[in-house]
Amino acid sequence: MEVKTIDILIRKFYALSVGAHVAHVNTKSFSAHEALGDFLAKVDETKDRLIEYHIGERKIVKVSASIIEVGENIEMEASALAEMFTNYAKGIADEAMINLSGEFEEAVGKLKFFLMLS
């Protein structure tokens, strides 16, 4: 079960990365552009750390990221992924993953705040 969950989580991070990038380059608001750019960097950093940690812990051997559709609402997609990541981290009771999921939740909150101001 854990491997399936981590596979889905990784694929959702890839999908959110693409969705955040599309929103970043298509926005007409400078402040939204900056907020989405910062968020995109955090998504990619978190995805990389998540994958490398699991490879290092020998919980996954390789990554394959089949396409998952990402919705138009990046805030909603990000919030859903943050919740899934937090539940996963707590479910495996791994302190490193709990901390990383908390950092990602913080990034989602920051994105929502800055987009609210744009």
Sign of the torsion angle spanned by Cα atoms 56, 13, 101, 46: positive
pLDDT beyond 70 at 1: no
How confident is residue 49, by pLDDT bands cut at 50, 70 and 90? very high
Q: What pLDDT is recorded for position 29?
A: 95
More confident residue, 71 or 30: 30
Share of the chain above pLDDT 90, in %: 81
Q: What pLDDT is recorded for position 71?
A: 77
pLDDT one-digit tens code per residue, 55-97: 999 998 888 777 677 778 999 999 999 999 999 999 999 999 9
Range of the domain at 81: 2-117
Cβ(9)–Cβ(84) below 8 Å: yes
Give 72's DSSP letter.
S
Q: What pLDDT is recorded for position 2?
A: 52
Return the CATH number at 48: 1.20.1260.10
Sole residue written with tokens 């890839």: 14
Q: Tally the domains of the chain.
A: 1
